[in-house]
Structure 1
Amino acid sequence: MRTKLITSASAAALAVAITSPAFAGPTYENDTGGSFTWYGQLNPSFQSYDDGTETYNRLVDNAGSNSRIGFRLKQAYGENSLTFHFETAFGFRSSDGVSQASTGDNLSWDRTNIRHVDLQFDTARYGRFSVGQGSMASDGIAGSDRSGTGVVAGVAVADPAGGYEFTGGPGGVSVGDVFTDYDGGRLGRVRYDTNNYNGFVFSASYGTDILKTNNDRETYDVAVRYNNENIGDFALDAALGAAWTEETGKDDKRDIAGSVALEHMPTGLSLALVAGERDIAGNYGYAKLGYTADWTPLGSTSFSVDYYDGSDMASTGDSAQSWGVAAVQKIDNYNVEAYLAYREYSYDDSSTSYNDSSVIMAGARWKF
């Protein structure tokens, strides 16, 4: 009965998202080059996780692109502009925040759900200067992807089920413990981005965790990004970055990650490759094949298959693999992406071979 009720709730949520009218947050402008724009998205998903012994079915918020709302207030100053950016997640129960032992709260908001409280000064000659809570320079460096399925399948393979523990062993090892991408995050930071030089943008930042109490974390990072959609029949996205973190009571660490995504525009075929390493822990490699076609008047249809291989993530000599398949259907008139994905996880350490597990994610992201 519980499974039927949750499935019905998920179906109802998807129906609401798909049948809701398209609505984009309005932009208000003044006579001096100022504007105010708000936006948001909802991303409910039905999650079914099988840990090798039992199956758990829940309605969750997709952690890969959580439900959120925000606004931008922008004012031009000649050829330059100043932007204030605010964004917060709603705090719905996250797909990586539930486990065998906990269903989590349906709604639990605190200040760690704030994603951006950020001032950005864009200059025509000298690039962009940013200060406040927001993305570090290395945020997104592992995410180059042109497959069209990024809403539910990507290098962050733990997002669909990161809180669940592997069974068949001593316990205490979760999916999120052994699958990571070493991608940069969001902190209270100062950041600088250069102008675009023939497709290249260079970035650097310094940040600390201002949303948590009693925290003295300090992170420094640098990154370079490249984008070119006019390489003959191909389009290319690439990124590379490194971050150094210091925190009292913890070992200093250095993370390096990079990604490249190539798409053949006439056929819709794409390939993404990602790799990352932490100097005091493990490393991984990731590959993804994608295909996008315009089969219906609704919008593009995308498919992907991917594979992740990591080692030494939780302990020396351990091994973690995951593979997944995903399908995403865009419904352009309603700003909706409906998706279905399946992913398997396997993990072994030097003494134990844990049970393989799997997760199904079915949902829809509605942007407004």
Structure 2
Amino acid sequence: MLPRHLLSSITALLALSAMPALAELKYSNDTGGSVKLYGQLSPAYLSFDDGVASYGDLVDNEVSNTRAGLTVTQDYGSSVLQFDFLTALGFGQSSNYGQAGDPKFLDWRRTFVRKLEVSWKTESAGTFTFGQGSMATDGVAQSDLSGTKMAMYNGLDTVAGNYQFRTSAGALSGIEIDHTFTSFDASRRGRIRYDTPSFNNFTFSAAYGKDILSTNSNDIYADAAVRYKNEIAGTKIAASLGFSRRTRNGSDRDDTFGSISALHPSGVNVTLAAGSRKNDGQYGLIKLGYTADLFSVGKTSFAVDYYKGSDFVTNGSSSKSVGAGIVQKFDDARLETYLIVRKYEYTDTTATSYLNASSVLLGTRWKF
């Protein structure tokens, strides 16, 4: 028999898929200005098996969590002034569930604020942004044209991050998924950021800032990135490369990482990502996928991926994961549903051996 929570999750997903599209919540004036309300719901059911026990919870998928925002724009000739406020709503994040306990169902904190920024976009000089928002390397590890990013995001720690591996004796090891699987992707900070206009399909970005939402944090962040988008003989290509530095108490942590994805007109696609943290681990990821128009409601995307990391916990440690997933889009309803199964492995140079773990994530994202 299916778990009660899983049955209710499936019922909710079917109900959402039948919803009609809502009108855009946007007001426009006669001078090129507009005010727009937007957001999304992102519920999911997460099941995790650590080799000894199984767990299941309704969660908010941290890959792209439940959120709401407000955007105000005003045109000034060919330039655009924009204010953006966006916050997650504070539901229990998928990365915060684990054997040691679960987060509160609803617990909004100021760290859930994603954007509180003002930007000035020009045609010739680029875009200048100030406030809480994405650093330059946010998304650099996520160049992905597979159509499965919502389910198979390069950031495995966002789904089951607080779950621990068990030793072969069945004891909790203290080694969590988020200790052993990462993408080095940057986050959002209080920063100043600059993005160039596109030059021959290349865009360059740089940012400098600090964590202004966490208490007692004096960390300084600086990063730079280059992005590329093009279509060659019908094949779409997206790529990005970045470097980020966090300075804490006079000590630097340097990350270099990037990703590339290609989508053939046939629907076949491939995505690669890799990254290295100076003196502290590296990883590589490959994803193979296929997107097809199987149903009139929207595209169906399939993918499998393989992740290999090393030296994240201790020198000589190894983390591996294999995942397979499917995403179905419902265009008129602004909805996508997904299912992914994933296996995790961890080894190190100690005499301790660890049990393999697995997870299943069934969810949906509805945008408004």
**With structure 2 as the length reference, what TM-score do the two structures score?**
0.96
Q: What is the CA-CA distance between 1:215 and the residue it aligns to?
A: 0.7
Alignment partner of 1:312 is 2:311: yes
Cα distance, 1:206–1:361 mapped onto 2, change above 3 Å = same
Letter in 1 for 2:196: T
Give distance in 1, aligned partners of 2:287 and 2:153: 8
Letter in 2 for 1:360: V
Match of 1:360 in 2: 360
Give distance in 2, aligned partners of 1:268 and 1:7: 31
Alignment partner of 1:167 is 2:159: no
Letter in 2 for 1:254: D
Q: What is the CA-CA distance between 1:358 and the residue it aligns to?
A: 0.3
Match of 1:96 in 2: 95
Match of 2:242 in 1: 241
Q: What is the CA-CA distance between 1:9 and the residue it aligns to?
A: 2.7
Letter in 1 for 2:20: P
Q: What is the CA-CA distance between 1:10 and the residue it aligns to?
A: 1.5
Q: Is the 8 A contact 1:24 1:39 kept in 2?
A: no
Letter in 1 for 2:228: Y
Give distance in 1, aligned partners of 2:126 and 2:19: 39
Q: What is the CA-CA distance between 1:39 and the residue it aligns to?
A: 1.1
Aligned length: 364
Give distance in 1, aligned partners of 2:100 and 2:19: 35
Match of 2:80 in 1: 81
Equivalent runs, 1:1-368 vs 2, <5 Å: 4-168=3-167, 171-229=173-231, 231-248=232-249, 251-265=251-265, 267-351=266-350, 352-368=352-368
Give distance in 2, aligned partners of 1:360 and 1:243: 32
Give distance in 2, aligned partners of 1:31 and 1:297: 37
Cα distance, 1:345–1:259 mapped onto 2, change above 3 Å = same
Q: Is the 8 A contact 2:164 2:172 kept in 1?
A: no
Q: What is the CA-CA distance between 1:170 and the residue it aligns to?
A: 6.1
Query: Which 4+ residue blocks in structure 1 deviate beyond 3 angstroms?
Result: none
Give distance in 2, aligned partners of 1:12 and 1:110: 30
Q: Is the 8 A contact 1:13 1:44 kept in 2?
A: no
Q: What is the CA-CA distance between 1:126 and the residue it aligns to?
A: 0.3
Letter in 1 for 2:71: R
Q: Is the 8 A contact 1:191 1:204 kept in 2?
A: yes
Q: Tell me, which stretches of 5 or more residues in structure 1 are unaligned?
A: none
Q: What is the CA-CA distance between 1:5 and the residue it aligns to?
A: 2.5
Give distance in 1, aligned partners of 2:3 and 2:208: 49
Q: Is the 8 A contact 2:267 2:291 kept in 1?
A: yes
Give distance in 1, aligned partners of 2:276 and 2:23: 40
Give distance in 2, aligned partners of 1:177 and 1:315: 10
Equivalent residue of 1:171, what SS?
strand
Give distance in 2, aligned partners of 1:177 and 1:25: 41
Give distance in 1, aligned partners of 2:15 and 2:163: 29
Give distance in 1, aligned partners of 2:6 and 2:178: 25
Q: What is the CA-CA distance between 1:325 and the residue it aligns to?
A: 0.2
Q: Is the 8 A contact 2:155 2:181 kept in 1?
A: yes
Q: Is the 8 A contact 2:165 2:172 kept in 1?
A: no
Give distance in 1, aligned partners of 2:52 and 2:185: 32
Give distance in 2, aligned partners of 1:251 and 1:126: 34
Q: What is the CA-CA distance between 1:24 and the residue it aligns to?
A: 4.4
Q: What is the CA-CA distance between 1:200 and the residue it aligns to?
A: 0.5
Equivalent residue of 1:160, what SS?
helix
Q: What is the CA-CA distance between 1:134 and the residue it aligns to?
A: 0.2
Q: What is the CA-CA distance between 1:152 and the residue it aligns to?
A: 0.8
Give distance in 2, aligned partners of 1:25 and 1:110: 28
Give distance in 2, aligned partners of 1:278 and 1:86: 32
Cα distance, 1:115–1:57 mapped onto 2, change above 3 Å = same
**With structure 1 as the length reference, what TM-score do the two structures score?**
0.96
Q: What is the CA-CA distance between 1:16 and the residue it aligns to?
A: 3.5
Letter in 1 for 2:330: I
Cα distance, 1:278–1:24 mapped onto 2, change above 3 Å = farther
Q: What is the CA-CA distance between 1:108 and the residue it aligns to?
A: 0.8
Equivalent residue of 2:160, what SS?
coil
Q: Could you give the per-residue CA deviations for residues 74-125 of structure 1, whole angstroms, max 9, x where no partner exists?
A: 0111221110011011111111111012121111100000000010100121
Give distance in 2, aligned partners of 1:343 and 1:200: 34
